[in-house]
Amino acid sequence: MLIPNLLLLYVKNPEASAVFYQKLFNCEPVAVLSTYAAFDFENGLSLGLWSEEAKNFVSGGSGHRCELSFMVPDDETVKALYDQWQPSVTIEQPLHEAVFGLTFVALDPDGHRIRVCTPDD
């Protein structure tokens, strides 16, 4: 069985994106290069930030059709993160109730969606 362990986001500037995510995650990246940056997490997931300008970069698509999502334990944590992020992060979808519970969506510097939500009971 294959278990996904790497999420790649295509970005304009991996170094700038690494600074953004370092503040958001409150952790240091494991690598920062001009064409790639990466974060490793305790749950085994890695986030790679790959430059659209990197040599041999090819992508047949455009736009942002996925979300980096964080399931947090309760509504109070969703509200606390919303209040913490709102002054410095672009909020695309404000705090609201969805079919699965309280959520909001922020954007990174390249327009990738970042959702915070509670797990569905």
The two structure tokens encoding residue 77: 């944590």
Does any domain span residue 60? no
pLDDT of residue 31: 96
- Indicate if the pLDDT at residue 63 is higher than 80: no
How many domains does one find in the chain? 2
Residues 71 and 40 in one domain: no
Does any domain span residue 58? no
CATH code for position 43: 3.30.720.120
Model pTM score: 0.84
Domain that holds residue 98: 67-117
CATH code for position 80: 3.30.720.110
pLDDT of residue 53: 84
Does any domain span residue 62? no
Closest by Cα among 19, 109, 18, 110 to 63: 110
Does any domain span residue 113? yes
CB 41 within 8 A of CB 26: no
Residues 42 and 77 in one domain: no
Task: Give the SS3 label for residue 46.
Answer: strand
pLDDT digits 0-9 by tens, 65-90: 678 999 999 999 999 999 999 999 99
Task: Please list, residue by residue across 41-73, b when 16 or more beta carbons sit within 10 angstroms of its beta carbon and e when fewer do.
Answer: eeeeeebbbbbeeeeeeeeeeeeeeeebeeebe
Name the percent of the chain lying above pLDDT 90.
69
What is the average pLDDT score of the chain?
Answer: 90
